[in-house]
Amino acid sequence: MSDSVNNKVVELRNVRRSFVQADVQIDVLKGVDLDIMPNETVALLGPSGSGKSTLLQAVGLLEGGFEGSIKLAGEETAQLPAKGHTRIRRELLGFVYQFHHLLPDFTALENVVMPQLIFGRSLGEAEIRAESLLASMGLGERLHHKPSKLSGGEQQRVAVARALANSPKLVLADEPTGNLDEATADIVLAELLALVRREGSAAFIATHNERLAAKMDRVVRLHDGVLT
């Protein structure tokens, strides 16, 4: 298919990853197949140690050492040099981590403006978009706060706005609300999903929380190194 709009955002085939520690080999991913369509939100469930973070690192092109085929927006990434991975991450992906990783010396607004400047947007355009994203995460009154002056939930909301700043085709999140109390986690995840859906991105989100997972379009489970 030449039209990139029709491409699967993610197409994994037989993805494998093993770690060797103290001469013992652990096969964490034993042949993962996964398709994610444009606009689709997919929850990744699995017990601790089942390989959720490892799988997200594969899709996010954050680590080497994977075998198999990892296609993002139709492009095979396996043989690409690091420069190609950096380009795909910048053009296609947005990340939300469990701990927000905001720049501490910059305001909420600046944290969302920055990736857009790197992407080539003008300061004016970037600020308008950052304000709009932050406002839709309920932070219209917190634009000029630095992360240390924000609550945990607010920090995570800024991190969500930042992940969406460059209109990624795919948002990747590793337990994005794992650091928050239950009630706040529910609200922040609902806001994240609303924003992802409004922006037309797809999302692949690792979580331990069945209830949060049920709010997404589809749930996949990692068990014994494969997805079910």
Ligand X SMILES: Nc1ncnc2c1ncn2[C@@H]1O[C@H](COP(=O)(O)OP(=O)(O)OP(=O)(O)O)[C@@H](O)[C@H]1O
Write out the two tokens for 208: 């331990």
| CB-nearer residue toward Mg ion: 52 or 162 | 52
Q: How far is the CB of 103 from Mg ion (least distance, A)?
A: 24
| CB-nearer residue toward ligand X: 85 or 146 | 85
- The answer to the question of residue 177 lying near Mg ion (CB under 5 A) is no
49 interacts with, out of Mg ion, ligand X, none, CB within 5 to 8 A per kind: ligand X
State how far the Cα of 185 lies from the Cα of 171, in Å rounded to an integer. 17
Interface pick for Mg ion out of 41, 50, 53, 155 (rule CB under 5 A): 53
- The answer to the question of residue 57 lying near Mg ion (CB under 5 A) is no
26 interacts with, out of Mg ion, ligand X, none, CB within 5 to 8 A per kind: ligand X
State how far the Cα of 78 lies from the Cα of 127, in Å rounded to an integer. 36
| CB-nearer residue toward ligand X: 26 or 194 | 26
| CB-nearer residue toward ligand X: 8 or 52 | 52
Torsion angle defined by CA atoms of residues 217, 154, 175 and 173, in that order, rounded to the nearest 10 degrees: 60
Write out the two tokens for 190: 């609902």
94 interacts with, out of ligand X, Mg ion, none, CB within 5 to 8 A per kind: none
- What are the DSSP calls for 168-182, one per residue? -SEEEEESTTTTS-H
- The answer to the question of residue 201 lying near Mg ion (CB under 5 A) is no
Residues at the interface with ligand X (CB under 6 A): 19, 21, 26, 28, 46, 48-54
48 interacts with, out of ligand X, Mg ion, none, CB within 5 to 8 A per kind: ligand X
Helix (H, G, I), strand (E, B) or coil at 185: helix
State how far the Cα of 184 lies from the Cα of 206, in Å rounded to an integer. 17
| CB-nearer residue toward ligand X: 208 or 218 | 208
228 interacts with, out of ligand X, Mg ion, none, CB within 5 to 8 A per kind: none
Query: Which residue is nearest to Mg ion, using beta carbons?
Result: 53
111 interacts with, out of Mg ion, ligand X, none, CB within 5 to 8 A per kind: none
- Pairs from 138-147 (Cβ < 8 Å, separation ≥ 24): 138/191, 139/108, 142/108, 143/107, 143/108, 143/109, 144/107, 144/108, 144/109, 145/107, 145/108, 146/104, 146/105, 146/106, 146/107, 146/108, 147/100, 147/102, 147/103, 147/104, 147/108, 147/111
Positions touching Mg ion (CB under 5 A) are: 52-53
